[in-house]
Amino acid sequence: MKEKFDIIQSTCIPIEIDNNNTDNIIPARYLAFTTRDPKFYGEAFMHDLRYDANNQPIADFVMNKPEFSEAPRRGVHEIIVGGQNWGSGSSREHAAWAIAGYGVRVVISNSFADIHRNNLLNCFVLPVVVSRGFQLELFKSIAEDSNTLVTVDVPNQTVKNEKTGSVEHFEINAYKKYCLMNAYDDIDFLLANTDKIEAWEHRT
C-alpha cells in the first residue's frame, strides 16, 4: 500500500530464521495466481511455516504466538526483525507482495538478497540493514519483552531500539528514499515531474 514514510515506531515480529528464502516467504504454488489482492498474498505470507498440512496454525511458530499473532496495524507489528540473508533464493516479487500484503512496512536484518531488497522497496516495504550485533540485540530485547518498541526514522536514516537506547544509521538509495517519503512509485515520480520533462523536451 502506498503510504508516506516518515518516522515509524512499532513493536516487532521476530522471525529469527537465517537464509529465510522466498519459498518460505511465499510458497511457489501462489505464483500461479494472477490476482494482485494484497490480502490474498498477505494471508500466504510464511504460510507453510504458519500452518500444518490440515491448514491448522502451528502453535510454536512465532507468528502464531499470542504476543505476535495480532495483524499489523499502526504502531503494532509493522516491523519484522529477520535473520541473516533475508529473502534469498528465487527472485519472485510475490515474496515482497506477501510481506506488504500482511501489513509490514519495515524489515530489519543484517543482510538481504539484492533482488528481494529491491522488490521490497518497489512494494513500499523498507529493508533496513543493521550490524549483526544490533540485530542480535533486537532479538534479545524482544525475547525479554514482546512490547519492545523500535523506531525507524526515515528522514534521518536511523533505527533505534527503544528498550536499550541503541541507535544505528542505515543506508538507502536517495531516489528510493524520496519515493518512499512521498508515496511515489516510479510512475508517480514521472507524473510529478511532468512539467520538468516537458520543459526539457521543448529545449531539445
Phi-psi region of 165 (alpha: psi -120 to 50; beta: other; left: phi over 0): left
Partners of 169 in beta bridges = 158
Position 204 scores a pLDDT of 61
Structural domain includes residue 201: no
Structural domain includes residue 195: no
> Whole-angstrom distance between the N-terminal and C-terminal Cα of the chain?
37
3-class SS string, 121-134: HHCCCEEEECCHHH
Structural domain includes residue 51: yes
List the CATH number of the domain containing 33.
3.20.19.10
Position 51 scores a pLDDT of 97
Structural domain includes residue 37: yes
pLDDT by position in tens, the chain (length 204): 689 999 999 999 999 999 999 999 999 999 998 888 999 999 999 999 999 999 999 999 999 999 999 989 999 999 999 999 999 998 999 999 999 999 999 999 999 999 999 999 999 999 999 999 999 999 999 999 999 999 999 999 999 999 999 999 999 999 999 999 999 988 988 888 888 887 787 876
Structural domain includes residue 200: no
Structural domain includes residue 111: yes
Residues 109/110/111/112 CA torsion (nearest 10 deg): 10
| Range(s) of the domain holding residue 146 | 7-172
Structural domain includes residue 197: no
**Helix (H) and strand (E) counts in the chain:** 9, 8
Task: Judge contact between 70 and 12, C-beta under 8 A.
Answer: no
Structural domain includes residue 194: no
CB atoms within 10 A of CB 82: 27
Q: How many domains, in total, are found in the chain?
A: 1
